[in-house]
Structure 1
Amino acid sequence: MHLPDYHGGSIVNLMASIQQGLGGEPHIYPQHRLLTTDQIGQYQQVLLWVIDGMGLNYLRSQPKASHLNANLLGGMTSVYPPTTASAVTSFLSGLAPQQHGLTGWHIFFAELGAILAILPGRPRYGGVPLSQAGIDLSALLNVKPLTDSIPGSTACLVPDKIAKSDFSQYFLGSSKLLTHSSLDELQQNMVERMKRGEERYLFAYWPELDTLGHHHGIWSDSAEQHLLALDHCFSEVVRQCHETGTLVIVCADHGQIDSHPQRRLSLDDHPLLADCLAMPLSGEPRSAYCYLRPDKSECFDQYVTDHLAQQAENYRSDELIEQGWFGIGEPNPQLKRRIGDRVLLMREDYTFNDWLLQEHRYQLVGVHGGLSEDELLVPLIVVEP
């Protein structure tokens, strides 16, 4: 098991370097030890391209992705849990989950009395987006977009299918929005903004590698072929950066591992454990947050020891805050409420799911959210013009 390095070697520290290097407000996290504030401050424009699901170990194992590997400055950690909802929020806010409080795909918001899927912005049980329900996301999150702290113009380049979500619209802040529906269109948008040089900071996001990993496995042929397409796109962006003077940074929110069918556990098969729970699981299938009934803590712990010790590690949730898993510094006032009473951190490639009545029982091949190297470590790719 590995933990995030919030003291200079994580994606949060990268954002501290970017924010301060571009003239933004002082940051509560140290700058990144591999890419400092002073280095970033030399450039008039910075492009950060986040490729969802591109783990460090996975990239290094793919020599055909020669351009990405040739410009690999080193590795760094994601945040805990290493998953899109938590890590992309760190890219967009500059903060760790300790401060932004978004702790996984499914999060219990005590303020609303409901478990939400925060990225699509809906309750887990379904329904309309939060904004249509009259909920002010700014009051719910109480975290400001990083781009609002950077002097000058900024732009966010995101897929059109997520551009209008409450989450995307909130973290867009004052940035210009540019959407794309294909990798070619993203490449065109990145190159065009670099050539124009109007924005000080460009944030680009591409989710398809992660999607292919979930559906087919990160080690599948389809994922490998897509990585090569990303490598070609990167080579074209690099060619342009030498002409525009743009500092290009490429990284990821997390990596992935493949989970075998026999390692995908269901709460349905553990009714005595389910009886200990006060509400459905939240968090991630690799890091499940468990809210316990008041008189069931001993029963829960004993059941995990007797029946799941080979598959999961059982932690008191508040201990993980104390040990710095979610970040350093003053925690979000809602953090403790959003991680339950216990955290089941799955071993090896195990996952643990439960299902609401209306939910389709899908199975993901590629998974993340645990603390293996393959999930936690991400590349830091840097091209200086």
Structure 2
Amino acid sequence: MEGFCEPAYGVRSLGDVVPAAAHALGSPLGPAPTGLTLPDAASYVVFLIDGLGARLLERYAHAAPYLSSLLAGSSPMTAGVPSTTTTSLTSLGTGLTPGAHGLIGFTTRVPGTNELLNALLWDRDVDPVQWQPHQTAFTSLQYAGVRVTVVNKREFNGSGLTVAAHRGADYVGVDRVGERIAAVVAASRPAPRQPTLTYVYDGDLDWTGHRWGVASSQWLQQLAMIDHEAEQLRDALPPDRRLLVIADHGMVDVPASERIDVNNNDDLRSGVALVGGEARFRHLYCSGGAVPDVVATWRSVLGERAEVMTRGEAITRGWFGPVDPSVLPRIGDVVVACRGDFAVLSTEGFPYESKLIGMHGSLTPDEMLIPVLLD
């Protein structure tokens, strides 16, 4: 079974994109990432395609002729851990590791409660600025004189995740491809003494992969459509504006035979007070004193299909980068990272998981490696 791909924080990871772009724009925010250097320009457009793993693009290059043409001479970077949208988008916007910005999963425990924060839907009782209190890289760039714009769906403007991850940037709400491209062209226009960074997001490929799987004709058709969108965007941009295409994570298809449901297994439920995370990367919040037994039981039941470790072991491994003390209780007492195409479902708390085919969150190369495509 193929090994895990460890995150390359500070070298060539998703959190290094904005710091690298800042150097290229002539407004450095600090030391340059040691493994990610971008050419100088007055304007950068960062197009993030949700779910487009580097290996998926290589495997299905025939469906994306434009994007795959940019693979030559490029090498992938890594997502953070877990390899999931909320963590990745926050790493991009803040320039921080997951252990610093604190969005360390799709769902995580709200400290002091038995409630989970769903970082996509958010919770009105949780202040996103308190949850993620650090100044974003987008804000720092604005202070440095770079005009930073987020181009995304109207419904995401002011959402908890947007505030936590991307506050400080101007926001342009769009819902259609045509207006998205037009908005990017307008926002990315540099002034004589003001460079620009424009971030634009497309989530349709990820949704299609979850619903139909990455080997499906539906996913391939969606990839072809997004490839055409990216090419249209490049054609609409003047030559002096650089287009950087990246992703937040990849995806693997999980067959029915490779799923186990916590709610159908008394041994896996024993000692676990709350199940968080997602099917490929679980946070287990344990009853008092139960951690050693939970680790032993889960290792015995799952065997080589997953890596099961304590919070401390995962932190020592460097999975989350340096961890802020306020973030510690959000991480599971035990974390479970799936190998291969295995998944741990919790249908009582997450009934929709049984309907998903494509999943992500763990540290396999298919999930962790993301493209860095420059045009």
Which TM-score applies when normalising by structure 2?
0.90
Q: Does 1:308 pair with 2:302?
A: yes
- Kindly state the Cα deviation for residue 85 of structure 1 after the two structures are TM-superposed: 1.0
Change (3 A) 1:332 1:298: closer
Q: Distance in 2 between matches of 1:351 and 1:231?
A: 30
- Kindly state the Cα deviation for residue 111 of structure 1 after the two structures are TM-superposed: 5.5
- Kindly state the Cα deviation for residue 356 of structure 1 after the two structures are TM-superposed: 4.3
CA contact (8 A) 1:318 1:336 kept: no
Of 216, 224, 245, which aligns to 1:228?
A: 224
Change (3 A) 1:358 1:26: closer
Q: Does 1:203 pair with 2:199?
A: yes
For this pair of structures, how many residues does the alignment match?
364
**Matching residue of 1:262:** 257
Q: Aligned ranges for residues 314-333 of structure 1 at < 5 Å?
A: 314-327=308-321, 330-333=322-325
Q: Deviations over 1:361-380 (max 9, x none)?
A: 64210000111111000100
Change (3 A) 1:361 1:342: closer
- Kindly state the Cα deviation for residue 202 of structure 1 after the two structures are TM-superposed: 0.3
- Kindly state the Cα deviation for residue 51 of structure 1 after the two structures are TM-superposed: 0.4
- Kindly state the Cα deviation for residue 294 of structure 1 after the two structures are TM-superposed: 2.4
**Matching residue of 2:45:** 47
- Kindly state the Cα deviation for residue 297 of structure 1 after the two structures are TM-superposed: 3.0
Q: Does 1:10 pair with 2:17?
A: no
Q: Distance in 1 between matches of 2:350 and 2:323?
A: 34
**Matching residue of 2:149:** 155
Q: Deviations over 1:28-77 (max 9, x none)?
A: 7x5152424xx2xx311111111000000111122331111112322111
Q: Distance in 2 between matches of 1:221 and 1:321?
A: 39
CA contact (8 A) 1:56 1:378 kept: yes
Partner amino acid, structure 1, of 2:45: L
**Matching residue of 2:68:** 69
Q: Does 1:296 pair with 2:290?
A: yes
Q: Distance in 1 between matches of 2:174 and 2:269?
A: 43
SS in 1 for 2:187: helix
Of 111, 131, 138, which aligns to 2:129?
A: 138
Unaligned 5+ residue runs, structure 1? 123-129
- Kindly state the Cα deviation for residue 199 of structure 1 after the two structures are TM-superposed: 6.1
CA contact (8 A) 1:283 1:339 kept: no
Q: Distance in 2 between matches of 1:313 and 1:168?
A: 31
Q: Distance in 1 between matches of 2:127 and 2:364?
A: 36
Q: Deviations over 1:298-354 (max 9, x none)?
A: 432332233221432211221121221112xx4222232111221111121111122
Partner amino acid, structure 2, of 1:230: I
Change (3 A) 1:90 1:45: same
**Matching residue of 1:125:** none
Partner amino acid, structure 1, of 2:29: P
**Matching residue of 2:246:** 251
Q: Distance in 1 between matches of 2:133 and 2:184?
A: 30
Partner amino acid, structure 2, of 1:77: T
Q: Aligned ranges for residues 89-238 of structure 1 at < 5 Å?
A: 89-110=90-111, 114-122=115-123, 130=124, 133=125, 135-150=126-141, 151-194=145-188, 200-238=196-234
Partner amino acid, structure 2, of 1:381: L
Q: Distance in 2 between matches of 1:285 and 1:45?
A: 39
Q: Deviations over 1:150-209 (max 9, x none)?
A: 123211001223234222245443322112222333223223334576761101111110
CA contact (8 A) 1:209 1:226 kept: yes
Q: Distance in 1 between matches of 2:147 and 2:242?
A: 16
Q: Distance in 1 between matches of 2:155 and 2:323?
A: 32
CA contact (8 A) 2:43 2:190 kept: no
Q: Distance in 1 between matches of 2:190 and 2:36?
A: 28
**Matching residue of 2:335:** 343
RMSD (Å) for aligned C-alpha atoms: 2.2
Partner amino acid, structure 2, of 1:179: G
Unaligned 5+ residue runs, structure 2? none
CA contact (8 A) 1:193 1:199 kept: no
SS in 1 for 2:286: coil
Which TM-score applies when normalising by structure 1?
0.87
